Structure 1
Amino acid sequence: MKHITFYLDFVSPYAWLAFERMPQVLEGLSYSASYQPVLLGALLQQQGNPGPAGIPPKRDWTYRHVSWLGHALGTGLQMPARHPFKPLPLLRQALACSEDGQINRFVAGAVLRHVWLGGHDALDPARLAALAQLLEPQVRPGDDSGERAKALLRANTEQAAAAGVFGVPAYAVDGRVFWGLDGLPMLRAYLEGDAWFDGPEWSAVCQVPSGLGG
């Protein structure tokens, strides 16, 4: 059985869509999955990538696109009242439910639904309190200060970057990283044993020279 590490940040609408779609796309396959919260902003900064929100026309298109995808895929998606927002409170709340940096599907789904269903403010204090109450049975003891959750988030993000993760959602299996909602069919093909992955193409693309040099 293959194990998939699903990297996510709750600020990403595509993470929500992929979270909902992955069980459907991979239906019938034998696999296990764990969910690893990371700080998307730090990953983007490492790559010098402003993200879609940093380019106004791309921001508008991204929000339009994900809203349509939520409708077309049947998952639902309503843009939160403010976006982007600083996801640290949500990431740390999720990781308060972990001792090793991984969270279960219930925790991941609860936080993602908090952000992406209903069109509310993801950081509204009353809503954060309600989310904390929902997750309370999942919280691991011994981290009243929140320092463990903070350390786990740093370690998760550093580990993701070292693994070649540059954005979310991303899925790592057997040392290979698949990225994006539209990477799910490729992930399925790999898990099914598609012979393409035994050929040279996966690694050969890294050797293609850039034509933008001086």
Structure 2
Amino acid sequence: MSDLDFYFDFSSPYGYLASERIDGLAERCGVTVHWHPYLIGAIFKQTGQSPLVEQPIRGDYFRHDMERCAKLQGTPFQIPARFPYAAIGPSRAFYWIDSFDPILARQFAHDIYRGYFADGLDMSNPETVIATATRHGINANDLRNAMSDPKWKQHLRDVITRAVERGAFGSPFFFYEDEPFFGNDRMDQLEQWIKSRS
């Protein structure tokens, strides 16, 4: 099986929509997906961008588009009360969980995304993140310690650095054999590309 790198921000609605589609794409294409949460806020500082909803005129359009895309995709969605947020806690937690159980880490990622964009939970609160993880039998104190551990702080910084070096600038962002694709709306094209290379 070939590899597909999936970069996303837990605060990204389009990243959320892509996360609900990525498993089906992987099955149809026979690829192994590597999940890489990162912080697009850090990317924005380097590219001069700002969150879509904060941009004049474009912000209103994208708020509408997020809801429309979710509806067409059949994915539960609401714009959270606190949106966007710096998804540092969920990202560090993901990498710690991924270090010993990658399948569980992906389940955790789905729960974080759905909790935030479907259920309106405040994932900027570390205790909400921890409560989400404990549903999978993860020890709350272990995760609390991991989220403040310098090892996972540095790991997240390293992921962001590597993403920038590869040319990622938003969420979701995909690399298949170093071919870049940006956006949930490019996933059909991504699938076609993968199948054309096999």
Once the 2 structures are TM-superposed, how far is the Cα of residue 183 of structure 1 from its aligned partner? 1.1
User: Corresponding residue for 2:173?
Assistant: 170
CA distance 1:94–1:25, change in 2 (3 Å): closer
CA distance 1:30–1:89, change in 2 (3 Å): same
Once the 2 structures are TM-superposed, how far is the Cα of residue 128 of structure 1 from its aligned partner? 3.3
1:54 aligns with 2:54: yes
Return the letter of the residue paired with 1:128.
V
After superposition, the C-alpha distances for 1:142-161 in whole angstroms (9 at most, x for unaligned) are 94742122111100000000
Return the letter of the residue paired with 2:190.
L
CA distance 1:116–1:144, change in 2 (3 Å): closer
Say whether the 8 Å CA contact 1:35–1:108 is kept in structure 2: no
Q: What's the TM-score once normalised by structure 1's chain length? A: 0.79
CA distance 1:109–1:72, change in 2 (3 Å): same
Return the letter of the residue paired with 2:175.
A
Return the letter of the residue paired with 1:107.
F
Percent identity over the alignment?
26
Q: Which segment is superposed worse, 74-83 or 154-163? A: 74-83
Q: Aligned partners of 1:86 and 1:185: how far apart in 2? A: 29
- CA RMSD between the two structures: 2.7
Larger radius of gyration: 1
Q: Secondary structure at the match of 1:193?
A: helix
Q: Which segment is superposed worse, 4-13 or 170-179? A: 170-179
Q: Aligned partners of 1:93 and 1:12: how far apart in 2? A: 17
Q: Aligned partners of 2:166 and 2:136: how far apart in 1? A: 29
CA distance 1:2–1:92, change in 2 (3 Å): same
After superposition, the C-alpha distances for 1:126-180 in whole angstroms (9 at most, x for unaligned) are 533422423553978x947421221111000000000111111011111111110
User: Structure 1: which 5+ runs fail to align?
Assistant: 196-214
Q: Aligned partners of 2:178 and 2:116: how far apart in 1? A: 30
How many residues are treated as equivalent by the alignment? 194
CA distance 1:181–1:65, change in 2 (3 Å): same
Q: Aligned partners of 1:37 and 1:180: how far apart in 2? A: 15
Say whether the 8 Å CA contact 2:92–2:147 is kept in structure 1: no
User: Corresponding residue for 2:106?
Assistant: 105
User: Corresponding residue for 1:202?
Assistant: none
User: Corresponding residue for 1:204?
Assistant: none
Return the letter of the residue paired with 1:172.
F
